[in-house]
């Protein structure tokens, strides 16, 4: 073996050694539980989910043949879609401003935009309950101004869950967009303006296409976060929002049907991965 | 000065009580050091855990100084079941306090040992319905489902389950019914409508649909007590014991209406874990937990209904556990083996036919 090959071999070994702790940690905390979850979804009884035993497809049969679970899956996708669209629309101007501003406060402003991440999403959900509740800020203002007679139901339904999720995911969307806005270049905008393009045209022909990768990444990120959300839909939905996350929780802790909960989780994973695959295909096609 | 007199008066009362107690039951003061060891108990968390440690475990340890009892609170019975399942064959838990419907599930998997009447003589005082699966878990307390109300907003407290359908409460009720609460409410409402839950719960479901338009949230957050205390809702369908405790300790914003048609209790059972390494001490503990003495104390302190047939409750305690004399006479119990099989289907019906639609 020549020295060059040996050193390449050696550096590969070093690389492997460096990766090992991370791989082991991932394997123990992520891959192993996932395999176990997969196994549990084929168990015939709650106890079988732990101790092995027989294999059966009955949980999948339940999930796939019961129209209610199709409805739940549909609700989950609709919630994810709505949240992703509105989060992106609301975050886009903020991200664009932060990316283009030359203010010396830029760092501070960016920090402010993502500061909500310092607070747990549970706390922020409770904040929204205070704002949207029957005796919350909005309802008491409306009543004080005599704009409404009774209470306007703003929470304990999917509207409340959607609103809270949008606000909670906005910092993620802003961060994802900022990192995806690398291709934005003010010189291009100036050139377009010099050639006679008005501001709208500059936006639609230059800024929007160049920022699209960031926008699409943010949309995907928020969509995936939203369809796996559990706490906010549960607290803000008043029990009326049935999504995969809440159903998994119910089956696992209330009715103790662990195999069914596992099968629903696998379904959620399948949903995730198909969305990501389709999305990345589309993204690549768009960029080509 | 005043402080000293009040202390000495309290001391006098305490010593008088102690003398009285020792005269009444000499055995209560006797100590037994023949058995030593540890008993690891897992059970409900929160106020229950506090009361249980203070009023059951501490007196037990005083009675058996050689035995050390550890109490591990668990979030819910599902978690307890998961833990017992994982530790099967090599349990680190000796005794579990667990919801009756979950106990029945655990027994299907053989997680609890059959209690020996020679070692646990107090099971003889438990009624038949409380002795599950051949004494593999025994009910020791019941917490009634009740209507809780905010004392500022509700001047005329409800007296009947029928009041829940009153349109004046539109959007003013919190009801988490996708769990044991719903499984207990259905038979109550079914009976109210003249039905029998063993034949069909349809009458109960129909009445639930009449209540549904009044419900503001099916998932009160943080819980079914706080939303009443804060005035966010007027009424809440929830457990009596905790609400009585909050009524006494937190300024009385919350109060309990025990409907005249009677109620049904969420039933807590105690089980000796199969393969327990501290069986002898654990049996003594189970026996004590099932005793009339322990259950009477726990009823008085936490307003959980006793199960032991020898317990005689003072009137004022009984009325805070079961309600009026009329309600006490109407108190119901469930055939839990029957209900355990219906648990999931009933919750599924409540979720799909009521909660998802209103």
Domain CATH number, residue B236: 3.40.190.10
3-state secondary structure of B31: coil
H helix intervals, B193-268: 202-211, 226-229, 240-249
| Dist CA B150 CA B133 (whole Å) | 41
Integer Cα distance of A115 and B78 in angstroms:
37
Determine, yes or no, domain membership for A168: yes
Q: Is B136 on the interface with A (CB under 8 A)?
A: no
Measure the CA–CA gap between B225 and B266, rounded to whole angstroms: 17
What is the domain range of residue A277?
Answer: 66-287
Claim to verify: residue B195 and residue B275 sit in the same structural domain: no
By the CB < 8 Å criterion, does B347 face chain A?
Answer: yes
CA distance A244 to chain B (A): 14
Residue B70's pLDDT is what? 97
Closest Cβ–Cβ partner in A50, A240, A257 for B85 = A50
Domain count, chain B: 2
Specify which residues B74 forms β-bridges with: B44
Look at residue A226 and tell me if it is in a domain: yes
The DSSP line for B166-178 is -GGGTT-EEE--S
- Select from B88, B219, B343 the Cβ nearest to the Cβ of A235: B219
Which residues lie across from B269 on neighbouring strands? B98, B139
B308 and B335 inside one domain: no
A202: closest CA among A178, A185, A182?
A185
**Closest to A240 (Cβ–Cβ): which among B76, B218, B344?**
B218
Is A107 exposed, middle or buried (CB count within 10 Å of its CB: 0-12, 13-18, 19+)? Answer: exposed
Residue B12 lies in a domain: no
Chain A within 8 Å of B178 (Cβ-Cβ)?
A: yes
The SS3 assignment for A5 reads helix
In a domain, B45, yes or no: yes
B37 with B119, same domain: the answer is yes
Element (H, E) at B74: strand B67-74
Identify whether B5 is part of a domain: no
**Quick check: is A187 in a domain?**
yes
Q: Is B2 exposed, middle or buried (0-12, 13-18, 19+ CB in 10 A)?
A: exposed
Give the phi and the psi of residue B111 in degrees, each rounded to 5: -85, -20
Model pLDDT for residues B186-215, shown as the tens digit of each residue = 999 999 999 999 999 999 999 999 999 999
B105 vs A46: CB contact, 8 Å cut-off?
yes
pLDDT in tens, A26-69: 999 999 999 989 988 998 876 666 666 788 899 999 999 999 99
**What single-letter DSSP state applies at residue A54?**
-
User: What's the pLDDT score for residue A113?
Assistant: 92
Q: Specify whether the CB–CB gap between B238 and B225 falls below 8 A.
A: yes
Does residue B212 share a domain with residue B116? no
CB distance from B78 to chain A under 8 Å? yes
The Cα–Cα gap between B162 and B189 comes to 9
Task: Tell me whether residues A239 and B76 touch, CB distance under 8 A.
Answer: no
Q: Could you tell me the end-to-end alpha-carbon distance of chain A, in angstroms, rounded to an integer?
A: 43
Question: What rounded mean pLDDT belongs to chain A?
Answer: 89
- Which residues share a beta bridge with B265? B144
Distance CA B204, CA B193 (A): 7
Pick from A264, A157, A286, A270: which is nearest to A210 by CA? A286
The CATH number of whichever domain residue A219 belongs to comes to 1.10.3720.10
Answer whether residue B7 is part of any domain. Answer: no
Pairwise pLDDT comparison (A67 vs A197), residue with the higher score: A67
Residue B74 lies in a domain: yes
Half-sphere exposure of B91 (CA within 13 A, CB side): 28
pLDDT of residue A246: 93
In a domain, B113, yes or no: yes
The pLDDT of residue B25 is: 46
Which among B146, B186, B216 is positioned nearest to B347, based on CA atoms?
B186
Residue B272: strand pairing partners: B95
Per-residue confidence (pLDDT) for residue B18, from 0 to 100? 46
pLDDT tens by residue, B98-153: 999 999 999 988 999 999 999 999 999 999 999 999 999 999 999 999 999 999 99
What is the ipTM metric for this complex? 0.85
The reply to whether B205 and B58 lie within a common domain is: no
Mean of pLDDT values over B72-97: 92
- If asked whether residues B125 and B201 sit together in one domain, one would say no
Same domain for B199 and B339: yes
Under the banding of pLDDT at 50, 70 and 90, the label for residue A186 is: confident
Asked if A215 and A99 touch (Cβ cutoff 8 Å), the reply is no
Q: What is the mean pLDDT of residues A96-111?
A: 90
In a domain, residue A28? The reply is no
pLDDT tens per residue, range B160-177: 999 999 999 999 999 999
Average pLDDT over residues A94-114: 91
Contacts of B263 (CB under 8 A, 6+ apart): B144, B145, B146, B188, B240, B322, B323, B327, B331, B332
Position A9 in a domain? no
Question: For the residues A145-162, what does the mean pLDDT come to?
Answer: 88
Q: Which of A101-105, B183-187, B349-353 has the lowest mean pLDDT?
A: A101-105
How many angstroms separate the CA atoms of B224 and B179, rounded? 13
> Is A280 a member of any domain?
yes
Q: Say if A14 falls within a structural domain.
A: no
User: In terms of domains, do B185 and B209 share one?
Assistant: yes
Domain membership flag for residue B179: yes
As for how many domains chain A has, the answer is: 1
Co-location of B209 and B340 in the same domain: yes
**pLDDT > 80? residue A7:** no
Q: Is the pLDDT of residue B4 over 70?
A: no
Instruction: Say if B154 falls within a structural domain.
Output: yes
Beta-carbon separation of B105 and A256 below 8 A: yes
pLDDT beyond 80 at A288: no
pLDDT: is B230 or A3 the higher one? B230
Q: B198 and B328 share a domain?
A: yes
**Does one domain contain both B187 and B258?**
yes
Q: Same structural domain for residues B207 and B330?
A: yes
Is A79 within a domain?
Answer: yes
pLDDT band at B2 (very low <50, low <70, confident <90, very high): very low
The distance of Cα B334 from the centroid of its chain, to the nearest Å, equals: 14
Q: Supply the range of the domain harboring residue B241.
A: 144-265+324-355
B8 pLDDT exceeds 90? no
């Amino acid at each position: 073996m020549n020295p060059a090959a040996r050193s390449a071999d050696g550096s590969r070994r070093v690389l492997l050694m460096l990766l090992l702790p991370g791989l082991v940690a991932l394997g123990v905390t992520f891959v192993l539980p996932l395999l176990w979850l997969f196994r549990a979804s084929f168990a015939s009884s709650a106890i079988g989910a732990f101790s092995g035993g027989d294999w059966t497809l009955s949980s999948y049969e339940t999930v796939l043949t019961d129209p209610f679970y199709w409805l739940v899956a549909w609700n989950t996708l609709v919630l994810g879609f709505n949240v992703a669209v509105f989060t992106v629309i609301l975050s886009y101007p903020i991200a664009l401003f932060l990316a283009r501003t030359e203010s010396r406060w830029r760092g501070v402003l960016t920090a402010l935009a993502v500061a909500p991440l310092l607070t747990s999403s549970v706390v922020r959900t409770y904040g929204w309950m205070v704002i949207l509740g029957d005796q919350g800020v909005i309802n008491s203002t409306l009543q004080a101004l005599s704009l409404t007679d009774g209470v306007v139901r703003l929470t304990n339904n999917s509207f409340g869950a959607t609103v809270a999720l949008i606000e909670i995911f906005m910092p993620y969307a802003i961060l994802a967009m900022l990192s995806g806005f690398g291709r934005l270049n003010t010189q291009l905008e100036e050139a377009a303006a010099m050639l006679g393009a008005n501001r709208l045209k500059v936006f639609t022909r230059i800024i929007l296409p160049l920022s699209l990768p960031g926008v699409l990444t943010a949309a995907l990120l928020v969509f995936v976060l939203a369809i796996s959300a559990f706490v906010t839909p549960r607290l803000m939905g008043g029990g009326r929002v049935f999504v995969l996350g809440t159903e998994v929780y119910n089956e696992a802790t209330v009715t103790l049907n662990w195999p069914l909960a596992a099968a629903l989780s696998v379904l959620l994973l399948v949903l995730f991965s198909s969305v990501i695959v389709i999305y990345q295909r589309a993204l690549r096609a768009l960029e080509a | 000065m005043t402080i000293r007199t009040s202390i000495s008066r309290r001391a006098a009362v305490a010593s008088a009580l102690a003398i009285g107690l020792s005269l009444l039951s000499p055995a209560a003061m006797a100590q037994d050091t023949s058995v030593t060891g540890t008993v690891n108990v897992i059970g409900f968390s929160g106020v229950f855990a506090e009361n249980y440690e203070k009023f059951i475990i501490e007196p037990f340890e005083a009675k058996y100084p050689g035995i050390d009892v550890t109490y591990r609170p668990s979030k819910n019975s599902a978690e307890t079941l998961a833990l017992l399942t994982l530790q099967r064959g090599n349990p680190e838990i000796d005794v579990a306090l667990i919801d009756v419907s979950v106990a029945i599930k655990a027994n299907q998997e053989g997680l609890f040992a059959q209690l020996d009447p020679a070692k646990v003589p107090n099971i003889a005082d438990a009624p038949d319905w409380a002795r599950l699966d051949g004494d593999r878990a025994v009910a020791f307390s019941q917490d009634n489902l009740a209507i809780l109300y905010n004392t500022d907003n509700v001047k005329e407290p409800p007296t009947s389950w029928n009041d829940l359908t009153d349109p004046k409460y539109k959007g003013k009720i919190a009801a988490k019914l996708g769990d044991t609460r719903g499984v207990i409410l259905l038979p109550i409402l079914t009976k109210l409508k003249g039905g029998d839950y063993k034949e069909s719960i349809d009458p109960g479901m129909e009445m639930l649909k009449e209540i549904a338009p009044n419900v503001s949230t099916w998932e009160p957050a943080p819980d079914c007590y706080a939303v009443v205390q804060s005035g966010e809702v007027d009424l809440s369908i929830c457990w009596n014991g905790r609400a009585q405790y909050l009524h006494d300790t937190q300024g009385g914003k919350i109060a309990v209406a025990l409907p005249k048609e009677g109620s049904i209790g969420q039933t807590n059972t105690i089980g000796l874990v199969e393969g327990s390494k501290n069986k002898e001490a654990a049996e003594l503990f189970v026996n004590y937990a099932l005793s009339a003495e322990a259950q009477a104390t726990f009823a008085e302190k936490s307003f959980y209904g006793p199960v032991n047939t020898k317990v005689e409750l003072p009137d004022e305690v009984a009325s805070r556990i079961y309600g009026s004399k009329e309600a006490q006479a109407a108190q119901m119990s469930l055939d839990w083996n029957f209900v355990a099989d219906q648990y999931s289907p009933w919750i599924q019906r409540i979720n799909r036919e009521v909660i998802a639609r209103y």
